[in-house]
Amino acid sequence: MDFYLTALLQGLCFSAIALGIYISMKIFNIPDITTDGSYTLGGAVTGIMLTHHQSTWVILPVVIIAGALAGALTGLIHTKLKINALLAGILVMTGLYSVNLIVLGRSNLPVSDLPSLFNSFHLIADPNQNTLIIISIFVIVITFLIGYLLKTDFGIAMRATGNSESMIRALGVNTDRMKITGLALANALTALSGYLIVQFQGFADISMGIGIVIVGLGSVIIAETLINWFKITNIWICLALVLAGAVIFQLVLAFTLAMGVDPNLLKLVTAAFVLLIVSLPRLSFNKAS
């Protein structure tokens, strides 16, 4: 059972990435893969600051700002230099690898015996359940903030930017600035996942971000399938489904491992799983027509 609890916890850690991808991909309609770099950046900043005995609450805003800067850079390259968003993301992601290595100072940094977010409170004796409570509160707060933001006038303008650019420009919104803000927000959330994971697993690693974008994409695609299935328009339910998507994704991977699949095949299984979810609605749609 502990095995699945760990998967649940990991899923909750990844829910920030899922929210970030939801913002860049679904709300702004921008395929942003700065993710791999900004996730590791969040992790690297957390790791190095923990070893320098900084409080987890001091690290939190630094991680958010670092992630936001990475996203804003991608946004600037995309909007001001008119470079394809995918390429802009790849460029920043590639550059960030070196930045992360410099921040981390080495390729792997253990932080497990240092004070972290998860051992700063002791609400319950069982450490796993204690972690579950802390991380749940953390994720609920983030989700609430994002949900509120999307409900505000600014949030409506954000949603319109990815939906009908000509309309929102005619209504007086600077779409370039809006996209830069959106990508900054998305990558700040991604960096938050790095912050959570490093403290959860007890180490920061330079390769922790490789292929992480698929975790976010997979979660969002699971959520989107459910959203389309049940024709949901309520923002709160959409966000809740994105969180559920992140958890389901990790549970499926845990289940795969539990079945005895070679861990070396994990990325292949992940890719196949995402492909399956993406193609499921289309397969059934084809049958109908």
Partner 1 sequence: MIAINDIHKVFNKGKANQVNAVNGISINIKSEEFLVIVGSNGSGKTTLLNLVAGSVFPDKGTIVIDDNDVTKLADHRRSQWIARVFQNPMSGTASDLSILDNFRLAALRTKSKGLSIGINDQFKQQVKDKIATLGMGLENKIEQPMGTLSGGQRQALTLLMSVMDTCKVLLLDEPTAALDPRSAEVVMRTADKLISDFKLTAVLITHNLKDAFTYGTRIIQMGEGLIINDLDGEKKATLKQNDLFEWFG
Examine residue 269 and tell whether it contacts partner 1 (CB under 8 A).
no
Q: Which stretch binds partner 1 (CB under 8 A): 11-19, 106-114, 163-171, 212-220?
A: 163-171
Alpha-carbon torsion, ordered 94, 95, 97, 98, to 10 deg:
140
Nearer to partner 1, 80 or 151 (CB): 151
Residues 112-151 contacting partner 1, CB under 8 A: 148-149, 151
Kindly state the smallest distance separating residue 24's Cβ from partner 1, in Å. 16
User: Residue 196 contacts by C-beta under 8 Å, 6 or more apart in sequence?
Assistant: 12, 13, 16, 117, 135, 138
Number of residues that bind partner 1 (CB under 8 A): 23
Do residues 156 and 143 lie in contact, with contact meaning Cβ atoms separated by under 8 Å? no
Examine residue 175 and tell whether it contacts partner 1 (CB under 8 A).
yes
Examine residue 167 and tell whether it contacts partner 1 (CB under 8 A).
yes
Examine residue 230 and tell whether it contacts partner 1 (CB under 8 A).
no
Q: Of 2, 113, 153, 262, which one interacts with partner 1 (CB under 8 A)? A: 153
Examine residue 23 and tell whether it contacts partner 1 (CB under 8 A).
no
Examine residue 264 and tell whether it contacts partner 1 (CB under 8 A).
no
Q: Of 1, 81, 125, 170, which one interacts with partner 1 (CB under 8 A)? A: 170
Q: Of 31, 90, 169, 240, which one interacts with partner 1 (CB under 8 A)? A: 169
Kindly state the smallest distance separating residue 22's Cβ from partner 1, in Å. 14
Query: Tokens 């470079």, residue?
Result: 83
Examine residue 157 and tell whether it contacts partner 1 (CB under 8 A).
yes
Q: State the Cα–Cα distance between residues 179 and 177, nearest whole angstrom.
A: 5
Examine residue 82 and tell whether it contacts partner 1 (CB under 8 A).
no
Nearer to partner 1, 197 or 227 (CB): 227
Kindly state the smallest distance separating residue 72's Cβ from partner 1, in Å. 18
Q: Of 112, 152, 207, 279, which one interacts with partner 1 (CB under 8 A)? A: 152
Q: Of 171, 258, 271, 272, which one interacts with partner 1 (CB under 8 A)? A: 171
Kindly state the smallest distance separating residue 162's Cβ from partner 1, in Å. 8
Q: State the Cα–Cα distance between residues 234 and 273, nearest whole angstrom.
A: 27
Examine residue 80 and tell whether it contacts partner 1 (CB under 8 A).
no
Instruction: List contacts with partner 1 (CB under 8 A).
Output: 148-149, 151-154, 156-157, 159-160, 163-164, 166-175, 233
